[in-house]
Amino acid sequence: MKVAIVGAGIGGLALAQGLAKAGVDVAVYERDPSPQHRKQGYRIHISNVGEQALAETLPDAVRRRVIATATHPGDLVAGFDAQLNTQFEQVFPVAGPDAVTSVDRYAFRRALMTGLDDVLQFGRQFSSYAETDEGVEIAFADGSSATADVLVGADGVGSRVRSQLVPSQDVRDIGVRCIYGKVPLTSAVRSLAPEAFLRGFCFVGDGAGLGTAFGPVMFREPPAEYGDYLMAVLTGTNAVLGASDEELFAMSPGDLWALVQRLVGDWHPSVRALLDAGEPEAAFPITLRTCITVPTWSSSRVTMLGDAVHPMTPAAGAGANTALWDAARLTRALTSEEDLATYQKDVVANGQAIVTESLHNAERLFNVSIPV
């Protein structure tokens, strides 16, 4: 059997590792021209679900790379108001030396690519597929093609595989924008940061819809390109940010960061000082999207995983973990006698519960109402 995976994101790479480990002929087609193309690191929380899926799918050497390039585990999740008065605080036992509790997206993807040189094909943007009696014919934007017995859409929230397989799927903008940024953890920044910000994920909110999430990324082994940093993400609606999408998405990284600094101008001096130490050229805006109902589809040869099936807001910290769960579940299906319909049933049921939880969390966290 030959399996073609569209998308070398978190779910697609984990699936490729699981299949290659089981001896399945697998190819991954990624639209980016190279693995170095996007270095926008941000911190991804890995839950027990994600960790278990990694343990199940990855060969030992790859798992060791993931552990080596993960961040040192934190022990705290806390919320503050804009003047840094604690609103809630949860302390956890510090996880062991082999635990993976959060990762930098770029470093994580690079670790997941370990040993896949013959499997990964960059610069291959999927455009459509056709099912035949023998298998699936896959067409790429550059006019090239490929064939496989099974095609897996692991191509994320804007999935083209999904738009052909489930043309009616509803992916909604929840009306919240993020300005993502990075504060390099120099010794000066480490001494001015509130202690909690270096211990775990912290959310600072003004109670009126403007928030900033902070999360430390302190590597066990940093990537060659950059070192430890504090993730800093500003969130709010266009009205709260005082900028339309046209304005926001046309801004230079420096202007985006200046907007962040302006918006928190009357917040606690430590927060302002931290953001003043940010790396303006690392800033970029993101639109938060979700589905409401996870779709079903009918095909015995084409299937999907991760955000392609169940795009969700980051408010449950679960999108990547669910993509890893899907990858482990699909590895089991494709390496046994099980049919893809049973895999689909499980992925839709599991995904729907998490999408619903993420919607509730997003309404509370971002102070928005998401009509269902």
Ligand X SMILES: Cc1cc2nc3c(=O)[nH]c(=O)nc-3n(C[C@H](O)[C@H](O)[C@H](O)COP(=O)(O)OP(=O)(O)OC[C@H]3O[C@@H](n4cnc5c(N)ncnc54)[C@H](O)[C@@H]3O)c2cc1C
Determine the Cα–Cα distance for residues 302 and 138; give it in Å rounded to an integer: 11
Retrieve residue 270's tokens. Answer: 């430590």
Q: Please say whether the beta carbons of 338 and 148 come within 8 A.
A: no
Question: Closest CB to ligand X among 54 and 233?
Answer: 233
* 273 vs 363 by CB, closer to ligand X: 363
Footprint of ligand X (CB under 6 A): 6-12, 29-32, 44-45, 125-126, 154-156, 160, 178, 233, 286, 306-308, 314, 317-321, 323
Per residue, the 3-state secondary structure of 6-49, as one string, reads ECCCHHHHHHHHHHHHCCCEEEEEECCCCCCCCCCCCEEECCHH
- Nearest distance from residue 32's CB to ligand X, in Å? 5
Which of 117, 115, 2, 122 lies closest to 58, judged by CA?
115
3-state helix, strand, coil split of the chain in percent (to 5) is 35, 25, 35
Complex with ligand X: residue 151 or 274, whichever CB lies closer: 151
Q: How far apart are CA 78 and CA 249, in angstroms?
A: 30
Q: Are 66 and 107 in contact (CB under 8 A)?
A: no
Cβ 269 to ligand X, closest distance in Å?
26
Residue nearest to ligand X (CB): 9
Pairing relation of β-strands 171-184 and 229-236?
A: antiparallel
In the complex, minimum distance from the CB of residue 332 to ligand X, in angstroms, rounded to a whole number: 18
Which CB atom, from 10 or from 189, has the smaller least distance to ligand X?
10
- CA 192, distance to chain mean position in Å, is 29
Cβ contacts of 102 within 8 Å, gap of 6 or more = 43, 44, 45, 46, 70, 71, 73, 74, 215, 217
Between residues 44 and 240, which has the closer beta carbon with respect to ligand X?
Answer: 44
Residue 117 or 266: the one with the smaller Cβ distance to ligand X is 117
User: Residue 319 Cβ, how far from ligand X at the closest point, in Å?
Assistant: 2
Q: Which is nearer to ligand X, 173 or 186 (CB)?
A: 173
DSSP designation for 166:
-
Q: What whole-number distance in Å separates Cα of residue 6 and Cα of residue 212?
A: 33
Smallest gap from residue 218 Cβ to ligand X (A) = 16
Q: Which is nearer to ligand X, 100 or 178 (CB)?
A: 178
Report the nearest approach of ligand X to the CB of residue 266 (Å): 25
Nearer to ligand X, 243 or 320 (CB): 320
Helix axes 105-112, 10-21, angle to 10 degrees: 20
Place of tokens 């949860």: 90
Burial class (CB in 10 A: 0-12, 13-18, 19+), 272: middle
Is the separation of the CB atoms in 307 and 319 below 8 Å?
yes
Q: 237 with 368: CB under 8 angstroms?
A: yes
| Residue 134 identity | E
Nearest approach, Cβ of residue 10 and ligand X (Å): 4
CB of 273 to ligand X, least distance (A): 23
Closest distance of CB 154 from ligand X, Å: 5
Q: If you ran DSSP here, which 8-state letter would residue 209 be given?
A: S
